[in-house]
Amino acid sequence: MYELKSLSERCRYVECPSRIGVIEIGNGEVCFIDSGNDRSTAKKALKLIEERKLKLKLIFNTHSHADHIGGNKFLSERTCCEIYAPGVEAAMTRYTYLEPALLYGGYPMPALRGKFMIAEPSQAMTLEHEKLPPGIKSISLPGHTPEMTGYIVDGSIAYIGDAIAPASTLEKYGIFYLYDVSDYLKSLDTLMSLGCSVYLPSHSAPLYDIEEIVNYNRQKISEIAEKITEICDTGLSFDEILAEAFNYYGITITPEQYALIGSTLRSYLSYLMDQGRVSTVIENNMLKWKKS
C-alpha cells in the first residue's frame, strides 16, 4: 500500500484505497489525477513524488466524490498547485456539502456529514482543454456522477476514475452506486471505443483488456433493472422497494447505505420509467411505483 507504480515511462499511480494518477509533464513537474480520500493519503502521495525530486504542479479530478478529492485542499496549501475538475464536479468540489445533499435529497442527517461523504472544500476551477498539459486529453464518462471525466495520456494510458465498477464490487455488493444508468451504459460504450493499452480504474488494478469487465457491468445493470421491475409488480412505495432490494442483495441498512443505495434505486426507477417499464400511481397520498 502507498507505493508508486509505473504504467509507462511517464505515467504512474499511487497504490492506495482510491488510486491517484501521477503523470510527468516536464521540467521535473507532475500532475495528479485525483488526490485520495483525505489529508493523510495526500501527504503520503506527495512524499512519494518528492522522494524522486518531482514537484506537484496540477491536480485533475475525475469527479467530486470525497474519496477522489479529499486530498485537494492539503495539496494545494502545501504546493500551491492548481486544481481542475469538469463542470458541475468543480462546483461540488468547491461546495462539498452538496454531495450528501444530492444523495439524501435534502439537508443530510448527521451520519452523512462525516469525511466519508463531505471532503474538505477546495478551490477547483472548471476544466478547460487548454489547461491540460501536452499529450493529455479529457474524455467525458458520465453516469457514476453527472460529469465524470477520464484522462488519456499519449493516446494509450487511460485514467478512468469510477467509470467502470470492478468485479470485486459487483460480486460483493450486487448493486453499486450510479447517478444516471443510461449515461453509465453510454460511457461503457465510450470506454470500449478508446483503444488504449492500459486502463486504470480508481479501485482496482490496471486493466489491459476491458471487454470482459464492461460486459460484466452491463450484465449486472440488466439484472438489477430486471429485479427492480419485478419488485414493482404489485405497486410499492419507494421505501418498500428499497427494503425488498436490500433483502434480496443481502445488504444491511445503515444511514450511509440508505443514502447511497437509495439514490441509486431512484436512478434505476427513473431509467425504467424512461423505458416505459414502470410507472407511478398515487394511492392514499402515497406515491407508488408499478410495473407497466
Residue 111 CA to residue 109 CA, distance in Å, equals 6
In order of start, what are the domains of the chain with their CATH numbers?
A: 3-219 (3.60.15.10), 223-291 (1.10.10.10)
For residues 204 and 164, the answer to whether their CB atoms sit within 8 Å is: no
- DSSP-assigned beta bridge partners for residue 57: none
Going by the DSSP 8-state scheme, the letter that residue 254 receives in this structure is -
Q: Supply the pLDDT for residue 146.
A: 98
Q: Supply the pLDDT for residue 1.
A: 77
Give the gyration radius of the chain's Cα atoms: 20
| pLDDT per residue rounded down to tens, the chain (292 residues) | 799 999 999 999 999 999 999 999 999 999 999 999 999 999 999 999 999 999 999 999 999 999 999 999 999 999 999 999 999 999 999 999 999 999 999 999 999 999 889 999 999 999 999 999 999 999 999 999 999 999 999 999 999 999 999 999 999 888 999 999 999 999 999 999 999 999 999 999 999 999 999 999 999 999 999 999 999 999 999 999 999 999 999 999 999 999 999 999 999 999 999 999 999 999 999 999 999 9
For residues 61 and 68, the answer to whether their CB atoms sit within 8 Å is: yes
Query: Look-up: residue for cell 499511480?
Result: 13
Residue 247 CA to residue 251 CA, distance in Å, equals 6
Whole-structure pTM value: 0.96
